[in-house]
Chains A and B, each alone.
Chain A
Amino acid sequence: MENINRKLKVRVWRGTQGDGTFSTYEVPAQESQTILDVVTWIQQYAEPTLAYRFACRVGMCGSCAMNVNGIPRWTCRTHVQKVLEDGELEIAPLRNLPVVKDLVTDMSEFFDKWVGAEGRFHPSATRDDEIAAISPADPKRANANAAIECINCAVCYSACDTIAQNPAYFGPAALNRAWTLQNDERDTAFKSRLETISGRGGCTNCHSHQSCMTYCPNELNPTESIAGLKRMTTRSFLFGGR
């Protein structure tokens, strides 16, 4: 690797909400290095008290998201070479969530809204019943499939400018989840969920900036899901029923 002896200049947020500053570290550049590798190197060799969160390291658990050079990313799957700006990195906690310490945010609000938008599945059958036969070609199933691979990393929540201005808004992840359930034939809470997601913190607050779609690491399109919920809301309000 040509940059084998090169050092990365990395600025990392240290401190809590509104009370902290960026500290600068020099980190050895390595081949195929991820942002999470950089943060881990800093904690192990330079700053043992640095707080950050990760678990699976393979883009499945959604716990390592951070702001890298101003853009929210899953750090375990983000290669340094792809996001480096003039040989420098700035790593900060996710936006729109309270910072506990350094790079760790308090995600309670994110998951509370997920539940608040009725993100829970309400089954119509018990384990003793036959498994529901749903064709993959069914249009509603196709809608759900397109949105279902969310790992709850909160990248979209951090990217959303509407949440930044309107903290009561449920946000893209919670509404995307609600959209998958509204398209699930087996779910029984269609009406009550629709009432919740068309309420004051619901889908009608979305300005369709599409930052959620732009930055979703799993390439989902929550804006499209929210647009679907808006159509559902409109149909229900004007014509009633499903």
Chain B
Amino acid sequence: MIGARLYLLQRLSALVMAPLVLGHLATMIYAVQNGLSAVEILSRTQGSILWGLFYGLFVIAVSIHAAIGLRIVLFEWGVLPVRRLDLFTWGAGLLLFFLGARAIVAVVM
């Protein structure tokens, strides 16, 4: 139950996410292999505009992509009627954005 706008938003957000996921995985492996402690990680991320932008963009793309995906799954499973879809999509997107933004603020600020 999606039109052209949501369809394209989901694909474009996937395009944005693909390189960011690889960057995120590479960062995780690097941090673990070098045995970085939480303090050491925070010392590198706090105040970093680059990490803030990297994960900020990631969170925006995830919020859009996942909200539309959940909308389709819940509609096709018969959980949500058509009239609730837009409200749910906005709610799911904003919730994911809030949770993600909160995590970024904690790590970057």
Contact = CB atoms under 8 A, between A and B. Distances in A.
Interface in B54-86: 75-78, 82
Given A234-B8, A237-B8, A238-B8, A166 B76 contact: yes
Interface string A178-213: 000000000000000000001110101100000000
B102 interface: no
Contacts of B8: 233-234, 237-238
A44 to B, nearest CB: 42
B4 A204 contact: yes
Nearest to B76: A165
A47 B75 CA distance: 41
Contact of A205 (B2, B5, B78, B82): B2
A202 B76 contact: no
A61 interface: no
What's the interface size class on B, roughly?
10 to 19
Contact of A233 (B4, B75, B77): B4
Contacts of B98: none
A142 interface: no
B4 A237 contact: yes
Interface in A156-173: 162, 165-166, 168
A230 B2 CA distance: 12
Interface of A is mostly: helix
A101 to B, nearest CB: 27
A241 B26 CA distance: 41
B2 A200 contact: yes
Nearest to A236: B4
B77 to A, nearest CB: 7
Interface string B1-37: 1111111100100000000000000000000000000
A200 B3 contact: yes
Nearest to B7: A204
Interface string A227-242: 0001001101110000
B84 to A, nearest CB: 14
A234 B5 CA distance: 9
A169 to B, nearest CB: 8
A137 B6 CA distance: 36
Contacts of B3: 198-200, 202, 204
Contact of B77 (A165, A230, A234): A165
B4 A205 contact: no
Nearest to A162: B76
A238 B2 CA distance: 17
Nearest to B73: A165
A15 to B, nearest CB: 24
Nearest to A197: B4
Contacts of A236: 4
A62 B8 CA distance: 35
Most chain B CB atoms below 10 A, which of A199, A200, A230:
A200
7 contacts: A162-B76, A168-B1, A168-B82, A198-B4, A204-B4, A234-B11, A237-B8
